[in-house]
Amino acid sequence: MRELGVQSRFQLRERVRRKRYPLFALIFASAAMLILSRPSAEASVFEKARETLLDAASPLLEFFSGPIDAVHSVFGSISDYFGVIEENRALKAEIAELREFRWQAQTLRAEIDQLSKIANIQQPPQIDHIIANVVGEAQGPFIHAIIVDVGRNHSIIRGHAVIDERGLLGHVITVGATSSRVLLLSDLNSKIPVFVEGAELQGIMTGDYERPPKLEFIEGVDLSGLAVGQRVVTSGRGGVLPRGIPVGEILGLTNNEIRVALNSDYHRTNIVRVLRYSFPNDVDETATPALLTPIADEPRLEANPEAAAQAGVSQGAADGG
Amino acid sequence: MSRGFSEIVSTFAAAATPTALGVVGALALAAPFNFLDGLAPTPIFALYPIFFWSLYGPERMPAPAVFGVGIVQDLILGGPVGLWAMAFLLAHAGILWQREFFLGRSFSAVWTGFGFAAGFAAFIAWICASALYGRPLAVWPIAFQTVATILTYPVFHGLVRLVVRRAATEM
């Protein structure tokens, strides 16, 4: 009897021990996967799995986001209730200001087009956009990303910029067939080449988790021109994001750190625009650099009669003055 | 014949429900809830079924199921893969280790146990994420999310117990 008791206890312990093996094996597997995904969220070996799950989960996320949107639209956001009159006044002032800017922009656009024709400058690639709904949002504490309901089927590719009505939100990092994941500017993996207007400086804006993103410049660059409130826009360097998209403004210059207050606010964004564009990648390095040809080159003006006529008018006006 | 088939289906459904709830919980973490304009964090829903069944029915929430739920959460959030899988598995191991202590205790004791398990999982996730990014990350986002998870657990616990009791009465 006693022997039997000892044997059954031994068997029970053995059974428990055997049950532990898969647990330990899976903990080791998790650790191995963590090490493999170490380089960054963008260069992960698990990208295909992410894309597949994103597509599979997209209908479920849309199912979840339906009632959530309905609740949000019925109750509105809390701050809207408290600031509706103030917001209305600010919006009217902003509309008036924007009308003025639109008029100036149209005039400048026309002048730029005219001068570009005369100088035969190659225009930057056209940027097309597609409107997308935010169907998901990474609610984890270590990643800042949103999921939108457009993907490969809508000609979205990795790197496309995503904006809301205020400015840049982030860029696409995972593309499924019908949905994509957008890495937000506040994420630790986000690094965006930017340009500070006023200071005329190029830098890199890095996400810093829950704190505003920080600006980094090449060592030795004179930062004396930087000031709080200067506009930060994308620089277009690196061939990822188009230049000139508003990002934010300089928030502070304390403790050798330069922080940026972002224009966009993903918590209050349900609809975004994905900018579809492609950088020219067919540069023939052996070709003669056409853009270096002098502007007053006669044969080229003849080749473009309209531009030649415009140049003649400008020249005449200049002579007359 | 048909009774046998329905029994098989119901047995399979009963066995698959905990894992399915875990997967739905992991996916729900990516839904744009935005409680209080993003001020209130979204609870880590997947921890509810993992804790509940690790305690009351570990054969229905085995380690591979916990691992799968963790991987789904990692993939849908877009973060490092293995992070939540590791956190959930270690929490699962902790619950199994202390299972005998919590079984048969009052709900407040079980809730405290859930608090420890959630805190432990969050701590593991924070350690792993900090190690991956090479610096200690801010603690308060994960701390707030853990508190939200602990505070809302009784809703899940109550609902599941209600469903289980009803099912038992019908049988």
Which residues fall within 8 angstroms of residue B22, CB to CB, at 6 or more apart? Answer: B46, B49, B50, B61, B65, B66, B68, B69
Q: Is A23 in contact with B89 (Cβ distance < 8 A)?
A: yes
Distance from the B17 Cα atom to the nearest Cα atom in chain A, whole angstroms: 17
Q: Which of these ranges, A10-14, A83-87, A247-251, has the smallest mean pLDDT?
A: A10-14
Question: Which stretch, A87-101, A115-129, A175-189, A263-277, has highest mean pLDDT?
Answer: A175-189
How does pLDDT run across A24-41, given as a tens digit for each residue?
A: 999 999 999 988 877 554
Average pLDDT, chain B: 88
Partner-chain residue, chosen from A22, A57, A210, that has the shortest CB–CB distance to B27:
A57
Q: What is the mean pLDDT of residues A303-316?
A: 43
SS3 B4: helix
Partner-chain residue, chosen from B32, B86, B138, that has the shortest CB–CB distance to A210:
B138
Q: What is the mean pLDDT of residues A179-203?
A: 90
Residues of chain A contacting residue B138, judged by C-beta atoms under 8 Å apart: 209-211
How does pLDDT run across A143-163, given as a tens digit for each residue?
A: 889 999 999 999 999 889 999
Task: Look at residue A42 and tell me whether its pLDDT is greater than 70.
Answer: no
Question: Could you tell me the two tokens for A247?
Answer: 């990002």
Q: Is B77 in contact with A145 (Cβ distance < 8 A)?
A: yes
pTM of the full structure? 0.76
Distance from the A149 Cα atom to the nearest Cα atom in chain B, whole angstroms: 13
- pLDDT score for B22: 95
Query: What part of B 107-126 touches A (C-beta under 8 Å)?
Result: 125-126
Nearest to A146 by CA among A178, A171, A177: A171
DSSP A126: P
Q: What is the mean pLDDT of residues B136-154?
A: 93
Q: What is the mean pLDDT of residues A113-126?
A: 75
- pLDDT score for A75: 62
- pLDDT score for A123: 65
Tell me how far the alpha carbon of residue A295 is from its chain's centroid: 36
Q: Does A250 touch chain B (CB under 8 A)?
A: no
Other beta carbons less than 10 A from residue B74's beta carbon? 30
Q: Is B37 in contact with A78 (Cβ distance < 8 A)?
A: yes
CA distance A277 to A254: 37
Q: Is B72 in contact with A210 (Cβ distance < 8 A)?
A: no
Distances (CA, A) of B69 to A25, B64, B132: 16, 9, 21
CA distance A254 to A22: 51
Distance from the A219 Cα atom to the nearest Cα atom in chain B, whole angstroms: 22
Q: Where are the beta strands (DSSP E) in chain B?
A: none
Query: B42 near B146, Cβ under 8 Å?
Result: no
Task: Look at residue A298 and tell me whether its pLDDT is greater than 50.
Answer: no
Q: How many residues does chain B have?
A: 171
Q: Is the ipTM of this complex over 0.90?
A: no
Q: Does A170 touch chain B (CB under 8 A)?
A: no
Which residues fall within 8 angstroms of residue A174, CB to CB, at 6 or more apart? Answer: A47, A50, A51, A54, A158, A180, A181, B78
How does pLDDT run across B81-98, given as a tens digit for each residue?
A: 999 999 999 999 999 999
Other beta carbons less than 10 A from residue B116's beta carbon? 16
DSSP code per residue over B4-49:
HHHHHHHHHHHHHHHHHHHHHHHHHTTS---GGGGTSPPP-TTHHH
DSSP A152: G
SS3 A201: strand
SS3 B141: helix
Query: What part of B 10-69 touches A (C-beta under 8 Å)?
Result: 24, 27-34, 36-38, 41-42, 62-64, 66-67
Query: B25 near B45, Cβ under 8 Å?
Result: yes
Other beta carbons less than 10 A from residue B5's beta carbon? 9
Distances (CA, A) of B43 to B11, B130, B156: 30, 21, 12
Distance from the B117 Cα atom to the nearest Cα atom in chain A, whole angstroms: 16
Task: Look at residue B53 and tell me whether its pLDDT is greater than 90.
Answer: yes
Q: Return the higher-pLDDT residue of A183 and A143.
A: A183
Q: Is B128 in contact with A145 (Cβ distance < 8 A)?
A: no
